[in-house]
Copies of this chain bind each other. A is one copy, B any other.
Amino acid sequence: MNDAKIYLSESEMPQQWYNIQADLPELPAPALNPATNKPAGPDDLAAIFPMELIKQEVSTERYIPIPDDLLEIYKLWRPTPLVRAYRLEEFLETPARIYFKNESVSPAGSHKPNTAVAQAYFNMKEGNHRLATETGAGQWGSALSFATRLFDMECTVYMVKVSFRQKPFRKSLIHLWGAEIYASPSENTAFGRKVLAKDPNSLGSLGIAISEAIEDTVTHPGTKYSLGSVLNHVLLHQTIIGQEVKKQFEIIGDYPDTVIGCVGGGSNFSGLAFPFLQDKISGKKKDLQVLAIEPASSPSMTKGYYRYDYGDSAGMTPLMKMHTLGHNFMPPGIHAGGLRYHGMAPLVSLVYKLGLIEARSYHQLDTFKAGIDFARIQGIVPAPETDHAILAAIDEALKCKKTGEEKAILFNFSGHGHFDMTAYDDYLAGKLENYAYPKKLIEEAMKDVPQID
């Protein structure tokens, strides 16, 4: 039996990010200035982002070099292992080969530091000493707290209130690395106060927290805003994942037939899938199946609309063409907090529209069951977000069992669940329920979306 864990040496780590914009038959529609609805230029974005990230956002270069200093930082936890899940295969009695990329080995426990350290680095280079951001489940907030600490920068995090309460130790982790943290909606911003005035019991949403972080940014000098998903440059930084996996598959002489990631904003999915889509587009692997898995409670691709919409609730961000449930979407307090977002990354939305990927939605009870099965078979406890990808991998492996196909199935193990134990407690105690976001509420929220298309 071959090694279950496939490592790369640090010197084999990819030295550049892969930019899928260079290979798509069309470019994503331009972001629009929310004040004018005209294409947003670099100046429109310079208030909240450093110039290097703005350049990356619109670049059409196929490869963008990773600075040496940043490569050194990546080496704190990268390259991450690709793992063959032998025990899971045996348990399922499937002829499929199941692989996962283990991004949970980073200090913050997920793929998020891949872009957090990059964003902190480019901000530091341009003299910004503080970053403001939002976080859903807390994966992103802890990643940015970790990243800013490495460059001696300050950091302020607005954490969606429902997750702030469910995951007290994510807050502790954010503190330990040195960042400030507020439960959102907070009293710390005008927008937060406005939301609280309307609904003092608001559980918050990513859209609201983004608005607060942007307001914080533009009202504090030396501060820039940082987003953990959705934007092109964020997805770009994550492509180190898929590029590593391609090298790891080369070592063992295999190649995936199916590539799977869970999607909230889309960053862990893109990081794994885009380098493989390159091969699908070029014809090297035409029949590659790529699956984006979203929760039934936040089904932006499977039930939403491909429209221009704001990235936040207040309408402060540029308008982006994307799959959306409407920026006033108010998701229920499900536990897979990292997937509770009304929109989908413009690049993921575009590759979905182009038919390069499939989307699927799952109910949370099924995903928790898959995650616990995984933990009991392979050992590692997954994040609830990751459970979505695991369930899809199991479903595909069971199809192979029926058909006899010996497919190679790859999924992104985007993060561990060490800070999500309340969710597992609730599941095991029978306190969780399935919830499919109703079409009627989507139609309602879509009325607030500007008519641009």
Contacts and interface: CB of A to CB of B under 8 A. Distances in A.
Given A76-B4, A176-B372, A421 B107 contact: no
Contacts of A175: 424-425, 428
A247 interface: no
A157 interface: no
A286 interface: no
Interface in A308-331: none
A167 to B, nearest CB: 10
A9 interface: yes
A82 B76 CA distance: 12
Interface in A1-24: 1, 3-5, 7, 9-11
A35 interface: no
Given A107-B379, A149-B376, A418-B419, A7 B7 contact: yes
Contacts of A424: 172, 175-176
B11 A172 contact: no
Contacts of A132: none
Nearest to A146: B379
Interface string A413-432: 00010110110110010000
A380 B107 contact: yes
Contacts of A177: 375-376
Residue among A11, A105, A176 with most chain B CB within 10 A: A176
Given A173-B421, A175-B425, A372-B176, A3 B10 contact: yes
A342 to B, nearest CB: 30
28 contacts: A3-B9, A3-B10, A3-B75, A4-B10, A4-B76, A5-B10, A76-B378, A77-B379, A105-B105, A107-B375, A107-B378, A107-B381, A109-B418, A150-B379, A168-B421, A169-B418, A169-B421, A172-B422, A172-B424, A172-B425, A173-B381, A173-B421, A176-B375, A176-B421, A176-B424, A177-B376, A178-B376, A416-B418
A-B pairs with lowest CB-CB distance, top 5: A107-B379, A172-B421, A418-B418, A169-B421, A3-B10
Interface of A: 1, 3-5, 7, 9-11, 72, 75-77, 87, 105-109, 146, 149-150, 168-169, 172-173, 175-178, 372, 375-376, 378-381, 416, 418-419, 421-422, 424-425, 428
